[in-house]
Structure 1
Amino acid sequence: MSLATVALRAPLVLIPGFSLDDQLRKKGETCAGLPPSVGRVAHDLNQLHSGAAVLLDPGRANYSPSLLVHTRTYRLRLEPTKRGTGYLVKSIDPLRLSDHARLSRSCLLVRPPSWQMVPELRAVPDGSDAQWQDIETAWERLGTAYAEKHEVPSISEVQAEFLGTVDRLIDATEEITTREQRNAAPFPYRAISSTGGKRNTPRAMYEFQLVGRDLPPPGSFVRIQGEEETRGQVNRAEGRSVTVRFDQPVSWEKLPRQGALEITPSTVVFQKQRQAVAGFRSRDTKNSGLLPALVEHQVRHIPATPMLPRQELDPEQLAAFRRALTTEDLLVVLGPPGTGKTRTITEIAYTCATAGALGGGRTLVTSHTNRAVDNVLARLPEDLVVIRVGVEDKVHEDVKPLLLEWQTESLSQEIHHTATMREQAYRDAEAAQPWTVELAVRLDQVDALVQDEKTAALRLDASIQAVGAPHRERLTELRRQQADQEAVKERLDQRSAEVQAKLRSARERSDAWLTGWFHRSMARRRERQLGEVRDGARQAGALLTDLQTGIEGVRTDLDRAVREDPTVRTARDTREKVAQTLQAGIQEAYAAADMAVAALSAVVPGQPQPARRGDPAEVAAGLHDVHGRLERWLPLIAERRKLAEQWHAAVVQDPGQLVPELVRYAQVVGATCIGAASRAELSGVDFDLGIIDEAGQIGVADALVPLSRVRRGVLVGDDRQLPPFLDSEVEDWGEGIGDPALLRLMSQSALERLRSGLPASHVVQLTRQRRMPAEIADFISSAFYQGRLLTEKEHRHTDPLFASPMAFVDTAAQPDRARYESGGRLAENRYGRKGFFNTCEARLLARLAAFYHRRGSEWVVIVPYLAQRAAVIRELIPLIGDSQLANASVGSVDSYQGGECEVVLYGFTRSNPRGQIGFLKELRRANVAFSRAQRQLVMTGDLSTLLRADDPDFRKMADDLHRHLNSRGDLRTYQDVMHRLRAAAPDPEGDGT
């Protein structure tokens, strides 16, 4: 973490912003941690004795530079007053996880002598100073210290010169591209209406009824003349009506009923470009190696990886995939039309986002156009967390569910549903409280009964002991006599055995010759002894029998005495009653515990039911454990319920609080190059990989914007298609610039710059196209790609009009008056557009479009001039009866770059005896138009004009095209094709000429 303390010399004075009290009151209803009043803010700041954690925000399109000042629980946005005497408190918000994350990277600890709050600007004490310059200087030093700490190399002279040129490029581009808008005359209006019909609440969209024929172009930014805070964008312009969507809701009462709209050029793009340049210059970027790679083409080695994609890729795509995963700075992927750029990008994005072994992280998918971004996002697997950041009206229908606003709304609804169920669960869990109280009461009773049961048992034992005492004494004495007699009998049995053994020995020796008489005498003696011993043993046995009978009698007497004695009987009855009451109390305690645990389980699942035990003391101990667990949970449940209710209310009131969390967990984010920096939601978000699609259309200044946000970049595109600015535009602008380095940078895309400078290891060329039939692709390969484009597509031609997938309808045989172009003031008067139109070609293109429309084919008409587009649409609407489809399916070459379609109808428009072709000489325009076709390309034009074009490069291309059409295409005349079209469907006007 980078940290610096700023000890200021004077107090900092705060002034509450407009409606700050209302803002604080509304947020305080749903957000924890906010101060109870605005007056509390200064107190909270003064309690931060080590200083307040501060971040400096350089400002965005919609607000000025400001300080983000953090207390322990909330954050303030402070803007310096115009005179620099203090700070306006613009907003107060609770601290979020994203705030902690930003502070953990770097911050200033600002420590003034005190913080003061005054009620209004006029109350600021004389001599007060915001000390903005001191804070800004400290912030810059902190950034420098951070760069030095992390050993970020200083920028070289070449890099500094390059960044200076880019700054001049941004200035020049802004001046040139906004000149016409800045000089445009205002558009008077005579009436306003609310688009929703409601006037009592502020709305963002209103409809203006204009005076006069001129309309501001759709998409242009306007404001009401004299009203600085009413900036908006033209959503629709039709007839005399213009619909404007304002940046902020505007009250009906504040709108002048009559006035004028004036065009106000948007400077967001240029601001973001300048911020990106400043980031590179101050070394405040994610990877210090990107600038050397971009300027001096100094790159690091790309490590090999065995990673495989989900889908099969061809060898060149696989090479691009693997290098993109491990490049440490920049990689260029060149993809001619149909070579699978989008497929390759999706595999790179997916694997980068999910491959932990490669340190996978968040991926930014960006491009100059919304169409290119949407093409990629629409093909990403559903198991990725993908977010689209952009304007809903400009995002493709298939991708709208990925929009941040849509996902926020969806998540808000899901949270609302879940929170509602959760709150019900908490209400259900409230039943645990009375049951816990009931359990405590029952446990007190059980504890008392356990004690009573022990006392009753002791009393019973004492009664039994008292009644049975005499009998026990007699029993003891009899048992003693019995033991003594058993010992006597045992000795006699032993003596009997000994005498019997001696008798047997004497008898065995009684026949001896000399001693027989002695042994016979001993035998007789032993017989007498044995008789005496046996008599004694029989007497002892009889006595033992009498003793046992006596013992049993005494036992019987004892049992009878215990059973029949009134004292014992009373004690026993008492104990049994206590035991029964105890069991009943235990069951009631179990019931209360079961109900409490069941209620608690509504919000704390997995709670074990009380275990059933036999011993009352163990039962009581177990139930006390359950009661203790319940008492620990209940306060937590109450707090959780409060938090859940607050969170629910906060989300309902302001779903925007969910946005940082959605972005935080996103694996892939899609946005245009400028959108990636102009949306506040992405501020401070780190990206591991940035993929810039259609990079051949993107200028260096635009490319720097996403590159300043990523750790490494992959630029994908085709430098043989339309560049950011056409050569003819750069030539026109060059007359007023006079700076060769600036003009060179202006005419060059980021892709071109890198392709020509990076080593071969960092440039991958895709070569296998699968979009177009070979008849089309082979000409494109030869004319624009030095024959390197290979076709891997099986095509079965089934078109009923033309014998080849590549066809040309030549208007050269038509009369001059019919086939020649028109332009200038006639084009503006008839179609309201500059440029050229050709009625002959417009009619032909419209008839061809209607033919393919009736066949159910997917088709587009591409023309080079907006006036010709209007002419085609006018001819087409009566043929298909759908003005919306006609407007959507007829466009300029620029509008269709990056797209593809089954049938492409392209009209050259230019037809004149001098061979003038204007900006058609930009051959990349033809490449874009031709390469959109998936099955059929039909070109219309005047071959006599094209073959004698005043530009030699275009003339050569036209000559090559003519030869290719003769060998592998289908070259038809205007009359022939119109005859076929009339046969397929009669001309609504009768002649079709």
Structure 2
Amino acid sequence: MGVAVVEQVGSHYVLLDGGNRSGGLSTVRKGIDTRDGSPVAVKFVFGPNGDLSKKVFDREVGALRQLTHPNIVRFRDAGIDETGTEYIVLDWVESNLIDLLESKPWTDWDELYSTFARPLMDGLAFAHLKQLEHRDIKPGNILVDASGSPMLADFGIAKLRGEQAHSELTVQHFRSGVYAPPELDAPAPYVRDIYSMGVVLLQCLTSTQMRDYPEIRPALESVLVPPDIRSLLEACVSPDYLDRPSNGSVLAGEFARIALQRVAREEKSKNPIFLNVKFAAQKHLVGDRPERAAAEARMIADLSGNVFANYGLDRETGRRDPQTVNLFGSEHRYTLKVDEGPGFAVIAAPALDLEKLEGGRRHALELPPVFTWEVRPPAFAQRAADARDKLSTLIDDYYERADHPDTESSGQEGDEVFDLWLEILEARADLGRGEHKPLTFRSVNLDGRRSVFTLSRPIEVDLIGTDWEVTDQQSGRRFGHGEVIDQQSESLTLLSSRPLRGVQPSATLVPYDRPSAIALERQRAAVTAIRNGSTPAPGLRSVLVHPAANGAPVLETIDAWKSDLDAAKRKAVQLALGAPEVLVIEGPPGTGKTRFITETVIQLLNKNPAARILIASQTHVAVDNAVERLLAAGVKRLVRLAGDETAVQPGVRELLLDKQIGRWAESVRARAEAHLATLAAECGVDPDHVRAALTLQQLAGVADELERVEQHAKELRDSWLHDSDLATALAGEDPSEQYQDRIDQLADRKRDLATDAETYLAGALTIPTGIGGAEARAAVEILVGEANGAKELLGRLALQALWLERIGAEHSLAAIYLAGTSVVAGTCTGFLRERAVAALEFDLCIVDEASKATLTEALVPMARSRRWILVGDTRQLPPTDEDLLRATAILSERGLSRVQIEETLFQRLVDHLPEHSKVMLDEQRRMIRPIGDLISTCFYDGRLRSPRSEGLSGYDNIAGKAVTWLDTSTLGERRREQGETSYANRSEVDLLLRQLERIDEGIDFGLIAKPSSGRLEVLAIAPYKRQVEQLRRRLAPRNFKHLEVAAMSVDAVQGREADLALMSVTRSNAQGRLGFLGADYWRRINVALSRARFGLTIIGDAGFIRGTNGALRNVLDYIESHPSDCAVRAVDRG
């Protein structure tokens, strides 16, 4: 009798006979885990060649290791058996969806959704949030356990978002019949899975097995489902991938929303909230002559959207009062008091400006849509009382979660926070793909890397910093791409990495989203790393989820101060050194935020010279200001990171990484040349010829590499043309653009070396155009000749040339250089452009202008550090998100609200950090007191102190008081604006220029004293591009003797300061329309008026402004009520 042979895989798994399953790229056998006797599935991966099976194996193991979810099959182990075959060990699940479809266990959609579809979509959503696309969803890859719960399986051809291609193997075209979408490969991620999921759900609902695409439409029309479910399934299986929900989270959210709406329709009738609108509230709603019916109708309309609720505060104790409920509607805040009957009395309903409304919502619960708001006494009093109790219970639960974040559910709540942030990033990606329409142009002026396009029609949307590509959409030819660095209403200036050549009149400017896609990818990576705890400080996750638990800073002792700081800044620096986690610094204009940053860096390096600090900001200007101060203070080992040196201030460019490495390389080159010159002298060779020979030897190496890269690119293109379906099984991103970038770099380097060689040769030898490697080496031999020692000299030249090219270009040298730095500075997402930075960890990260960064942008630098300081001002301009907020279809599809989009990390921390972790700098020294007091009163609740009082001697007599409003009301119709989409005001331009001339002449005649011998810096500010252009056009021919004038938009002046500021209001119309200056845009007014040190002039129609609401009206009221510091002057009619 034979002895049974036990087949074992790995250390713990014994294979059983029977139960084998086979698929296209694998065989699955049932086994036992000898440690606990549990059944396992051992999957052996094979393919037509070793490379393919290895990649399938690596893909699936990489995917499953990070996917721990109840609806994704559980990964146990992986390895290679003794025959060299890769295997994966998973939980054994007896059945799959194919088996289940034979019995059709679901009677209707509700049962299918609750027991099968919802958990399956949860699993898919989790995979997509982990940036994994399954790409092969079908019944055979959906396992079903004994309880009927589904599990996604077989991630062998899954794709990680942002993954780079490492070989020519792809699975972009790997297909699974009717379950694969008709397109070969959609450019948008995840939509392939959405299509497959839609077909799977249809197959679950229909009794006919679908085998081909024409069978999908009849199945869709015949299944018995609610209309909104049918519409969603139809979108999932649409042949146009743009019609489908964009990922698993959106799909699951849409199905959940439909289910919630159906439940809400049933629940609303059970939860009537009776609201008795009192007289004061009626006045708030409809004015001084209230009418109950009109007030009630307005309230119901205002509460028809998203409603937020919290408890009011007891006026005596300051504690929450459960008897007082605040409701936040679309425009009003309602104060509710528990009434004697079964409802609430509405005792107040003021309309709030957007800032206050959003502030209230941030500290309130968003109510589920299960309540109806009733203004008639309820027919069933008990039902209304129960609804009131339910509302109170929901608010109680909200406060319980907020007050006790360390409960068992806190981990899930934390995941929900990161899920939300990832969802917002996906919305930004959606927007990036379709945010801007193509732009046509009438002409283009090509000037090196700068190209000025005269547009066919004016455009008001701010495009500065966006990237555009010049293409001929008929022929498909691409001329190049670049960043918009200047914009007028009818022209754009594009800065490209290399000159655009041969641009045809038929070409078009189209959005180029690769840079924004890269930035979003960096933000996704940061969010995911923080969520998973894989950052230098794993505790960053808990700080972000529960800021209220942030550790208290210690007030560090400082022996010697580098600069003279006020008490608030000194305390801020001491707390910054002693903060164990995060510290927030609120810095209004002129309070010395950059001086605080400089002193903090200096003191930290004094205490710990080995510390490494990262300084990041949203703008290059802010980064450069900090770097310049650090440089002036004598800080060493300082590196500035930027992709383009033109974006960096001239005084800082020498600190750019490539400049510093270049100087290091040049010093090495100089030493090499000196050594070679000595050898050359011994051989009788001209020293200039040695320099030329060394340069040509470098050129030869570059030419050889260029030829190799071009050949690789050609082979890649050819391989794509001839790949079989299976050989294309595992595609990452298309590397052709990376090849082209390298080809362009090498071509530029080759051209520069040829120019240098010609300079050294001074005509002694002609360098042919397009010289190759062999020709360059031949030229070297001619230059060296056949003198004694020439052979050794040639060998040295070749070796030195190879080394010089490597130190000038090799990535590893950048990493070595950065490892020795103390301070690295760059923009929030741009600093990672240098790959070597990704390997660095920082002891402290300082995010300047943090209030201007989106939440996820701020996380990118923070994810690289152990401690964090955020510096900003919630009352200055926030991130520019108007385009996304206008994209209501995207927000609706992804279930995102305005409050969620507008929340910055800085605002989140200001709202929720303990008081010990927040410092406000309250002394500003930029503006003299009259200007500072206006800013403090109108924008900072009077908290800002302004000790400077000395202005420009004689200024009041010539230009008016330090704060002056030049009122154009006297000009009749000439005071009005011109334009329809962008606005200008010629009269205000005339007055602004006249004011400048008056000041310039006053200085020239000695009537106004300047603070120094140089010119006064002046900002001419306007809220509209068209007005800015008029100012620039009128200023261009003028040559002021004592003034340096810059005309800029309001958005562009944030972070700048000047001696004088003149603001043109621009708007004046009979309709009372303020546009960008309205109540919601009060931060713009704050920015515009807080730039000037000595003199602020506002030019505009004061009568028009008095008839409006908002910040400008408040400013005008302040000026009129403070005649000792300010004045309103009517301009002459003539």
TM-score category of the 2 structures, normalised to the smaller one: 0.5 to 0.7
- Identify the match of residue 909 of structure 1 among 1066, 1078, 1083: 1066
- Identify the match of residue 405 of structure 1 among 658, 671, 675: 658
* CA deviation string 1:379-414 (max 9, x = no partner): 003342111111222211221222223223333322
Specify whether residues 334 and 210 from structure 1 end up closer, same or farther in structure 2 by C-alpha distance, changes over 3 A only: closer
1:837-848 mapped onto 2 (5 Å cutoff): 837-848=984-995
Specify whether residues 284 and 896 from structure 1 end up closer, same or farther in structure 2 by C-alpha distance, changes over 3 A only: same
Q: Secondary structure at the match of 2:550?
A: coil
Q: Secondary structure at the match of 1:669?
A: strand
- Going by fraction, where is helix more abundant, 1 or 2? 1
User: 1:243 & 1:956 partners in 2: Cα distance?
Assistant: 38
Residue 682 (structure 1) shift: 2.1
Alignment TM-score, normalising by the size of structure 2: 0.49
Residue 909 (structure 1) shift: 1.6
Specify whether residues 418 and 303 from structure 1 end up closer, same or farther in structure 2 by C-alpha distance, changes over 3 A only: farther
* CA deviation string 1:114-166 (max 9, x = no partner): xxxxxxxxxxxxxxxxxxxxxxxxxxxxxxxxxxxxxxx99821221111211
Residue 13 (structure 1) shift: 4.3
1:564-579 mapped onto 2 (5 Å cutoff): none
Specify whether residues 425 and 801 from structure 1 end up closer, same or farther in structure 2 by C-alpha distance, changes over 3 A only: same
- Identify the match of residue 262 of structure 1 among 510, 518, 525: 510
Amino acid at match of 2:416: E
Task: Report the equivalent of 2:723.
Answer: none
Residue 228 (structure 1) shift: 6.5
Specify whether residues 160 and 422 from structure 1 end up closer, same or farther in structure 2 by C-alpha distance, changes over 3 A only: farther
* CA deviation string 1:321-372 (max 9, x = no partner): 1222232221100111111110000111233345327xx5211111111111
Amino acid at match of 1:744: V
1:279-298 mapped onto 2 (5 Å cutoff): 279-297=529-547, 298=549
Q: Secondary structure at the match of 1:169?
A: helix
Asked whether the equivalents of residues 802 and 970 of structure 1 are also in contact (C-alpha less than 8 Å), the reply is no
Alignment TM-score, normalising by the size of structure 1: 0.56
Q: Secondary structure at the match of 1:790?
A: coil
Residue 793 (structure 1) shift: 1.9
- Identify the match of residue 416 of structure 2 among 161, 169, 182: 161
1:649-728 mapped onto 2 (5 Å cutoff): 649-651=804-806, 654=809, 658-725=813-880
Specify whether residues 757 and 234 from structure 1 end up closer, same or farther in structure 2 by C-alpha distance, changes over 3 A only: closer
1:518-533 mapped onto 2 (5 Å cutoff): none
Task: Report the equivalent of 2:1082.
Answer: 923
Specify whether residues 967 and 409 from structure 1 end up closer, same or farther in structure 2 by C-alpha distance, changes over 3 A only: same
Task: Report the equivalent of 2:943.
Answer: 788
Residue 642 (structure 1) shift: 9.2
Is 1:82 aligned with 2:170? yes
Asked whether the equivalents of residues 162 and 521 of structure 2 are also in contact (C-alpha less than 8 Å), the reply is no
Is 1:418 aligned with 2:668? no
Residue 232 (structure 1) shift: 3.4
User: 1:369 & 1:13 partners in 2: Cα distance?
Assistant: 46
Residue 862 (structure 1) shift: 1.1
Is 1:943 aligned with 2:1102? yes
Specify whether residues 206 and 753 from structure 1 end up closer, same or farther in structure 2 by C-alpha distance, changes over 3 A only: closer
Amino acid at match of 1:302: P
User: 1:372 & 1:750 partners in 2: Cα distance?
Assistant: 18
Task: Report the equivalent of 1:737.
Answer: 891
1:318-467 mapped onto 2 (5 Å cutoff): 318-356=570-608, 360-380=610-630, 381-390=633-642, 391-423=644-676
Q: Which has the higher mean CA deviation after the structures are superposed, 421-430 or 387-396?
A: 421-430
User: 2:489 & 2:552 partners in 1: Cα distance?
Assistant: 59
Task: Report the equivalent of 1:94.
Answer: none
User: 1:328 & 1:843 partners in 2: Cα distance?
Assistant: 56
User: 1:812 & 1:239 partners in 2: Cα distance?
Assistant: 28
Task: Report the equivalent of 1:802.
Answer: 959
Residue 217 (structure 1) shift: 5.8
Residue 803 (structure 1) shift: 4.2
Asked whether the equivalents of residues 488 and 1026 of structure 2 are also in contact (C-alpha less than 8 Å), the reply is no
- Identify the match of residue 961 of structure 1 among 1119, 1126, 1132: 1119
Q: Secondary structure at the match of 1:719?
A: coil
Task: Report the equivalent of 1:129.
Answer: none
Task: Report the equivalent of 1:746.
Answer: 901
Amino acid at match of 1:790: R
Residue 878 (structure 1) shift: 3.2
User: 1:80 & 1:891 partners in 2: Cα distance?
Assistant: 51
Task: Report the equivalent of 1:860.
Answer: 1019
Amino acid at match of 1:269: A
Residue 730 (structure 1) shift: 7.7
User: 2:455 & 2:1026 partners in 1: Cα distance?
Assistant: 24
* CA deviation string 1:40-98 (max 9, x = no partner): xxxxxxxxx9x9xxxxx999xxx99567xxxxxxxxx9345333799xxxxxxxxxxxx
Is 1:276 aligned with 2:531? no
* CA deviation string 1:491-540 (max 9, x = no partner): xxxxxxxxxxxxxxxxxxxxxxxxxxxxxxxxxxxxxxxxxxxxxxxxxx
Residue 416 (structure 1) shift: 1.9
Specify whether residues 217 and 327 from structure 1 end up closer, same or farther in structure 2 by C-alpha distance, changes over 3 A only: closer
User: 1:744 & 1:892 partners in 2: Cα distance?
Assistant: 27
* CA deviation string 1:706-761 (max 9, x = no partner): 111221111001111112247x7787456863588642132233222111110111
Amino acid at match of 1:703: A
Specify whether residues 892 and 701 from structure 1 end up closer, same or farther in structure 2 by C-alpha distance, changes over 3 A only: same
- Identify the match of residue 425 of structure 2 among 149, 170, 179: 170
Asked whether the equivalents of residues 445 and 452 of structure 2 are also in contact (C-alpha less than 8 Å), the reply is yes
Asked whether the equivalents of residues 317 and 766 of structure 1 are also in contact (C-alpha less than 8 Å), the reply is yes
Residue 818 (structure 1) shift: 0.5
User: 1:819 & 1:872 partners in 2: Cα distance?
Assistant: 16
User: 1:171 & 1:366 partners in 2: Cα distance?
Assistant: 24
Asked whether the equivalents of residues 775 and 805 of structure 1 are also in contact (C-alpha less than 8 Å), the reply is yes
- Identify the match of residue 913 of structure 2 among 758, 763, 787: 758
* CA deviation string 1:579-617 (max 9, x = no partner): xxxxxxxxxxxxxxxxxxxxxxxxxxxxxxxxxxxxxxx
* CA deviation string 1:842-897 (max 9, x = no partner): 21123333444664321111111112111222322233399x976xx111111111
Specify whether residues 8 and 654 from structure 1 end up closer, same or farther in structure 2 by C-alpha distance, changes over 3 A only: farther
Amino acid at match of 1:866: K
Task: Report the equivalent of 1:618.
Answer: none
Asked whether the equivalents of residues 332 and 762 of structure 1 are also in contact (C-alpha less than 8 Å), the reply is yes
Q: Which has the higher contact order (CA 8 A, sep 6+)?
A: 1
Asked whether the equivalents of residues 168 and 742 of structure 1 are also in contact (C-alpha less than 8 Å), the reply is no
Asked whether the equivalents of residues 1065 and 1099 of structure 2 are also in contact (C-alpha less than 8 Å), the reply is yes
Specify whether residues 8 and 426 from structure 1 end up closer, same or farther in structure 2 by C-alpha distance, changes over 3 A only: farther
Asked whether the equivalents of residues 1069 and 1104 of structure 2 are also in contact (C-alpha less than 8 Å), the reply is yes
Residue 176 (structure 1) shift: 4.2
Q: Which has the higher mean CA deviation after the structures are superposed, 419-428 or 774-783?
A: 419-428
- Identify the match of residue 301 of structure 1 among 537, 540, 552: 552
Is 1:184 aligned with 2:438? yes
Alignment root-mean-square deviation, CA: 4.3
User: 1:192 & 1:971 partners in 2: Cα distance?
Assistant: 46
Residue 233 (structure 1) shift: 3.3
User: 2:430 & 2:173 partners in 1: Cα distance?
Assistant: 34
User: 2:645 & 2:1000 partners in 1: Cα distance?
Assistant: 29
Q: Secondary structure at the match of 2:616?
A: strand
Amino acid at match of 2:971: Q
Residue 673 (structure 1) shift: 0.8
Pick the structure with greater CA Rg. Answer: 1
Asked whether the equivalents of residues 797 and 804 of structure 1 are also in contact (C-alpha less than 8 Å), the reply is no
- Identify the match of residue 849 of structure 1 among 967, 971, 996: 996
User: 1:745 & 1:331 partners in 2: Cα distance?
Assistant: 23
Asked whether the equivalents of residues 693 and 717 of structure 1 are also in contact (C-alpha less than 8 Å), the reply is yes
Long gaps (5+) in structure 2: 1-42, 53-83, 87-129, 133-159, 175-407, 684-791, 1004-1014
